[in-house]
Structure 1
C-alpha cells in the first residue's frame, strides 16, 4: 500500500513511517524540512517544503492509497494550524482522487466514556490549559466529518516515547477507561490497523494502553 505520512519528521509521524516501512508499505514522508527527518526511516519518497499550500499537498498525496495525518499543534504557532492544514489536505485528496484518511486527534478534549477521575478532576484542568489546542482539534475533526473522504479519526491520550508493547486497546463509543497514555509506536500500529480496516471508515476511535476491560477491545 502507498501511504503518505503528513508530519513525518515529528515524533508521532516518525513512528508511523517506521511501522509502515516495517510492514512493507511504500511511504511518502511529508515534512517541512528534510534535514529533520530521522536518518534511519528511509521512506521511498520525501516531499518537503516550508509552505504547506495546495500545490505541495497535492503533490504529497497524489497516487497514495491512504493518507496519515500526524500533525499536532505548533507551540507559539497559529491557533488554527490543524484545522487549516486538514482543510488543505482534504482539498488535495479530492483533487487527486485519494480517498482514505487516518487522522490523529486526542482524547484530552472529550469526556465521553471517561472514568470519574478523568471526567471530574483531570480533564477540567487539562481543558483549561490546552483550550486553544483542543478547540483547533475539535474543528479539525468537524471538517473531516463533513468531508466526502473515507476517514477515520484516532484519539489517543498522553503519548510516550520509547518502545511500544506491540498492542493497544480501542473503543468507538467513548474513551478507553482507566488508561492515560499510549506509546507512539503503538499509536502508529493503530493508525495502520485503521487504514486497513474498512469497518473503521467514518468512525472516531479512542486508543490507549491499559488493562483489558469489558468496554474496550484488545488488539494484537
Structure 2
C-alpha cells in the first residue's frame, strides 16, 4: 500500500509512519520541519510543505492509495489547524484524483453513545478546557463528510504514549463506553487497518483501549 501521512511528526502521525514502514508500505510523510521526523526507511519519502502549498500537497498525494490526516495542535487558543488541513487535503486529493481519506478527530468533542454521567458532567468540563480544539475538529469533520471522497473519521479519546498493545475497542454507532484513553501506537494500528477496510467508508469509528 502507498500512503501519505499529514501531521507525520505528531504523536499519532509518527506512529503511523513507523508501523506502516515496518509493515512494508510505501510512506510519504508531509512535514513542515523534517528535523522533527525521527523515522528512517528505504520506503519513506519526506515532503516538506505547508498546507497552503497546493502544488506540493497534490504531488505528495498523487498515486497514493490512502491519505491519513493526523494533524492536531496542543494549543488551547483558537485554532483552525485541522480545518485548514481538511480544506487543503481535499483540494489536493481532488486535483490528484485520490479517493481514500482517513481523518483523525477526537471522541471528546462528541457525546454520541456516552453514558448519562459522561455526557452531562464529564464532557461539559472537558469542553471548557478544549473548546477551541474541539470546535476545529467538529468543523473539519463537517468538511470531510460533505466531500465526495471515500472518507473514514476516527475518533480516539485521551491519547497516551504507551506501547502498541493491539487491545482496541471500536464502535461506529457512538463513543466507546467505559474506556477513556488509548495509546497513540494503537490509534496508528487502527488507522492502518481501517485504510483497507471498505466497510468503514463513509463511517465514523470511535475507538478506545479495550
Contiguous gaps of at least 5 residues in structure 2: none
Helix, strand or coil for the counterpart of 1:130?
helix
Shift of 1:50: 4.5
Distance change (3 Å), C-alpha of 1:54 and 1:78: farther
Instruction: Report the count of equivalent residues.
Output: 210
Q: Quote how far apart the aligned CAs of 1:76 are.
A: 6.6
1:29, 1:43 within 8 Å by CA — same for their partners in 2?
Answer: no
| 1:5 aligned residue | 5
Unpaired runs of at least 5, structure 1: 211-220
Cα distance in 1, alignment partners of residues 117 and 42 from structure 2:
42
Shift of 1:39: 3.8
Aligned residues of 2:30 and 2:47 also touching (Cα < 8 A): yes
Moved over 3 A (4+): 39-43
Rate the CA distance shift 1:43–1:9 in 2: closer, same or farther, 3 A: farther
TM-score, normalisation: structure 1: 0.90
Structure 1 residues 63 and 74: CA distance shift in structure 2, 3 A: farther
Deviation at 1:7, TM superposition (A): 0.7
Specify the alignment match of 2:143 in structure 1: 143
Distance 1:134 1:76, change over 3 A: closer
Quote the RMSD (CA, aligned, Å).
Answer: 1.6
Measured at CA, do residues 76 and 112 of structure 1 come closer, stay the same or move farther in structure 2, by a change above 3 Å? closer
Q: Is the 8 A contact 1:74 1:81 kept in 2?
A: no
- TM-score between the two structures when normalised by the length of structure 2: 0.95
